[in-house]
Chains A and B, each alone.
Chain A
Amino acid sequence: MHSLPGPHDITRHTLPNGITVLARENPNSPAVVVDASIHAGSIYEGRSHAGLANFTAAMLMRGTRDASFDQIHERIESVGASLGSSCGVHTGGFGGKALAEDLDMLLATAADIVRNPTFPADHIERLRGETLTGLAMRAHNTRAMAALTFYEALFGGDHPYGYSNDGYPDTVAAITRTELKQYQRKHYGPAEMIVVIVGSVSTQAAVKLVEKHFGDWSNARQPARAPAPTGRALNGSENRRVQIPGKTQTDIVLGFFGPRRSDPDFQAVRVANSILGVFGMYGRLGQNVRKKRGMAYYSFSRADGSFGPGTWRLIAGVNPAKVDAAIATMLAEIDRLATRLVTPTELADSKSLILGRLPLQLETNEGVAGTLAAIELHSLELDYLQRLPDQINSLTRADIRGAAARLLDSKKHVLAVAGPE
């Protein structure tokens, strides 16, 4: 009864208009989770309109042809449900949860907001003011500024992965109602849309509900999916510092281009990153930056990959006097991972962590829904979780070093530091 989600209990069904539904029943839960992706991310907006895709997504719940802001939220909140619209670089969409008895209402509301939004002018200005205040807070947040600066430096400020898809004060100030409406009309549609439903609803009923609320949706304007962006070669290291006087801690992001989700060494990078900055209390970085040297409250690493090149980042928050020492330790760890074999124990430990963690990650409806969405988005097979143990277990120490050596070079890194000096 405790098997991981797979072809035996996932229903995958594509509607004639292009929507793919993935559903898995969880009879143990009284609730249902919905997770939908539409190819309407910020990659379609361009740097000059940074923030447009996000602004559009946030406006969807502010009023539709049939319901006002208050009516939409009253419907959702009065039954303790949640529904939110948001957007990343590639896809936007909606996500929510409800008690099983309210799933029909949740999907009806979700369909209404993505299909019939009206972009009320008063809400545009209200949201713009909130967003601009949020951007002013960001400018004084060391963690956010280190991250923002890192992405701009690594990819370049005009690259869809490089600039901030929350936008900048000047671009957000300039977005017009016409642009918001046009963005929604053009990019929101059923082509290649993914809807995942997990919880106390049968998979047939889930598919029927999606057909009921989205089956007659079409959008002839929807463009072809944007091609995956490319990276560039780093010729040397690049360092950027953001000064925010009055702060007491400095945040550091030091990193590189990471893997694409489709790269053959994606899982090797995952294991290598676990050894570097995840396993136990944040891997080798946790040992050497936090524990042995007491330099930081936090220090860890992340490797992410999407359609285009991802990032591999080493992250720490340190006392301003210890910035240089922390960076030196990070660079040493990078050299070690890229040039020397990890120990057999380290390799076995991280493999065991990644596979052993699956039951915990897949305990909740949200955990399952997120996994199913990633499987579909990246064209993995429905038996991805069944095949994962072999993929992970077959990795050798040389594979780990090879993946690290391909992506990490301590002399060609991007460093972003945000703090008081």
Chain B
Amino acid sequence: MSGGTLQLCLLFSSALFCVGLAGALSRSNSILVLLGIELMLNAANLNFIAFWRFSPQPAPATGAIFVIFSIAVAAAEAAVGLALVISIYRQQKNIRLQEATRLKG
């Protein structure tokens, strides 16, 4: 196994991403799906920082800058997503994704 620590971090972030994916795909509660998405975003950020730390960089702080923007975007998306969940709850009195079918066909 070449690449040592970097490979280890990348394997872990892939595993984290897939845990988030499994959670987002299998749950019917909207909030849990949103949590899965947040986990996937975190896994991607972990990837960036692993590369920033363990591999040579052309520009000094690109990894850190990208992660800062990614955290900001994830926070905005969580806020809007949860506002949508509250709005759906108001319509159908529960937050099961299967029942949000009013735009369907």
Q: Are A and B part of the same complex? A: no
List the interface of chain A (C-beta within 8 A of B): none
List the interface of chain B (C-beta within 8 A of A): none
